[in-house]
């Protein structure tokens, strides 16, 4: 089909015109009948968003994807191009993608009238039939719809109302294509009004001149619910003309979130081979994001994007790689102490409420990490607060006694694997506790580290952070150290 170069040959081939919505619908029907995945790579929406999208396409609807940031709205819209035919014929030289069998522009109709079956045909790949525009307050009607070109009118000696002197905007140039407007509420109300008739009738007005162009466009809009109050709104008449509004959402489980993060994180091959990332720490990373979405310090209406966990994943691996390079090692493992290296990935991706601003972004990030560490610790080890005194043996007794004896352990962020393991091996009872928890040998030291951080959350031992060094010691010893700073209990 792509070898056809003239209108006459196209007619003989049996080609039939279809609207873009019919094209999307027919190709979706074929995919569903063959049980082929339509939105490949979209995880966690199998029972919610994707069926809604398929129903909207089958209904030939324009679509509004409504959801908080980082919920794959734009990605879903971009994947709709896979439901288009691979190539589409247009009248050669047409800037409006004119259908050779159903032209709409003055250029195409004049050319066909002049050359008939010899009218040249060009083929457009489906990747070129996707147009995306981010709505910002400075977007003008000329950007979207078009404007009169006075220079062209003067040189061609034509009236301003003549179609041939119009410089067409993005929407007319998206004829027979998918047109996406991201963050629709950011578009000024008067600009949204200009979309009314385009959506419904195909009419456009440029400088007061009414232009009848039966545009054939699949519109997809995206919006964040928070924008309705913060920056603007979708005006009611426009919203009424968008037939399907589909609500997106964040991953409902940590397991789904993990799959998304691992799919989206961009790691160099060298990093992937050299850095071991424990499954437990991957869960911990996602738990931080789930905690952020429930945090009283973070604006829930703004949302916490999946990009936080993706950036955090990349940051954690890079933190471990940096340490490995500094110590001239060939491989290493992501540690819990590395999570302090991903704090910048947290602070830049959350919107704090007033109470959060009072705490400060760094303190909020550490609070999220602390809460997540506590939960992860309890998933693997007994709760120290719920041990029945005198009725069962304290699994942390030997560790408590070691720290009570005045012993201290220091874990440096950039310490070599050898020094890291040597430091953890010093703590009496720590290795034995982990061995009893049926931990993989590869993750043995990671869990030893988790026990230390977990016990600090229950105030069994204390943790101080000084100059990139984590110092663990007995709680009472730490209290005495504080008193010494003030001259003892007497406070002289």
What 8-state DSSP symbol labels residue 109? H
What is the signed CA dihedral for 96, 99, 102, 108, rounded to 10 degrees?
A: 50
Name the band, by pLDDT with cuts 50, 70 and 90, for residue 229. very low
Provide the residue count of the chain.
492
DSSP codes of every residue in 136-169? -TT--HHHHTEEE-HHHHHHHT--TTSGGGEEE-
Computed over every residue of the chain, the mean pLDDT equals 88
SS (H, E, C) 378-430: HCCCCCHHHCCCCCCCCCCHHHHHHHHCCCCEEEECCCCHHHHHHHHHCCCCH
- Average pLDDT for residues 420-434, to the nearest whole number? 94
Q: Does residue 481 have a pLDDT over 70?
A: no
Predicted local distance difference test score (pLDDT) of residue 492: 36
The larger pLDDT score, comparing residue 165 to residue 169, is at 169
In the predicted structure, residue 309 carries a pLDDT above the cut 70:
yes
| Contacts of residue 110, Cβ cutoff 8 Å, sequence gap at least 6 | none
Q: What is the pLDDT of residue 491?
A: 41
Compute the distance between CA of residue 320 and CA of residue 341 in angstroms, rounded to an integer: 9
- Calculate mean pLDDT across residues 166-190: 89
Q: What is the pLDDT of residue 149?
A: 72
Confidence check: pLDDT of 475 > 50? yes
Which is higher by pLDDT, 328 or 2?
A: 328
**168 contacts 146 by C-beta, under 8 angstroms:** yes
398 has pLDDT over 70? yes
Share of the chain above pLDDT 70, in %: 90
Please state the rounded mean pLDDT for residues 159-164: 65
Please indicate, yes or no, whether the overall pTM of this predicted structure exceeds 0.75: yes
Please name each of the domains of the chain with its CATH number.
7-246 (3.40.50.300), 254-378 (1.10.8.80), 384-485 (1.10.10)
Q: 207 φ, ψ to 5°?
A: 55, 35
Separation of alpha carbons 387 and 6, rounded Å: 84
CA 296 from centroid of its chain's CA atoms = 22
pLDDT above 50 (res 429)? yes
Q: Which two tokens stand for residue 106?
A: 């003055």
């Amino acid at each position: 089909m792509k070898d056809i170069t003239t209108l006459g040959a196209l007619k003989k081939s049996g080609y039939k015109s279809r609207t873009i919505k019919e094209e999307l619908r027919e190709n979706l029907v074929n995919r569903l009948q063959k049980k082929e995945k339509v939105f490949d790579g979209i995880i966690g929406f199998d029972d919610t968003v994707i069926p809604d999208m398929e129903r909207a396409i089958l209904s030939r609807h324009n679509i509004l994807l409504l959801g908080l940031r980082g919920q794959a709205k734009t990605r879903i819209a971009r994947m709709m191009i896979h439901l288009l035919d691979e190539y589409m014929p247009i009248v050669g030289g047409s800037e409006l993608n004119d259908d050779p069998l159903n032209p709409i522009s003055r250029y195409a109709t004049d050319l066909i009238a002049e050359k008939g079956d010899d009218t040249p045909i060009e083929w457009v790949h489906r990747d070129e039939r996707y147009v995306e525009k981010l709505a910002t307050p400075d977007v003008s009607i000329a950007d979207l719809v078009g404007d009169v070109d006075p220079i062209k009118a003067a040189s061609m000696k034509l009236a301003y109302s003549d179609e041939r002197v119009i410089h067409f905007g993005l929407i007319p140039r998206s004829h027979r294509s998918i047109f996406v407007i991201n963050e629709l509420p950011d578009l000024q109300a008067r600009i949204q009004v200009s979309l009314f008739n385009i959506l419904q009738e195909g009419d456009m007005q440029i400088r007061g001149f009414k232009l009848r162009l039966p545009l054939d466009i699949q519109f997809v809009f995206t919006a964040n619910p928070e924008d309705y109050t913060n920056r603007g709104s979708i005006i009611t008449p426009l919203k009424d003309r968008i037939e399907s509004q589909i609500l997106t959402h964040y991953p409902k489980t940590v397991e789904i979130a993990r799959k998304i993060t691992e799919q989206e994180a961009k790691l160099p091959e060298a990093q992937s081979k050299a850095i071991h990332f424990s499954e437990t720490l991957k869960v911990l990373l996602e738990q931080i994001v789930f905690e952020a979405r429930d945090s009283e310090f973070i604006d829930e209406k703004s949302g916490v994007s999946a990009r936080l966990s993706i950036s955090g994943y990349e940051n954690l691996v890079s933190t471990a790689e940096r340490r490995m390079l500094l110590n001239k090692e060939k491989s290493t493992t992501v540690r819990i102490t590395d999570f302090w290296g991903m704090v910048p990935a947290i602070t830049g991706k959350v919107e704090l409420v007033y109470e959060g601003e009072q705490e400060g972004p760094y303190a909020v990030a550490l609070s999220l990490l602390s809460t997540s560490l506590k939960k992860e610790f309890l998933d693997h080890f007994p709760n120290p607060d719920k041990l029945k005194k005198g009725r069962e043996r304290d699994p942390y007794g030997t560790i408590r006694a070691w720290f009570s004896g005045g012993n201290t352990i220091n874990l440096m962020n950039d310490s070599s694997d050898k020094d890291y393991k040597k430091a953890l091996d010093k703590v009496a009872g720590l290795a034995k506790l982990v061995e009893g928890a049926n931990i993989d040998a590869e993750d043995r030291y990671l869990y030893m580290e988790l026990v230390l951080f977990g016990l600090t959350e229950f105030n069994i031992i204390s943790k101080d952070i000084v100059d990139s060094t984590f110092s663990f010691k007995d709680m009472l010893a730490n209290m005495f150290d504080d008193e010494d700073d003030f001259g003892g209990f007497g406070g002289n």
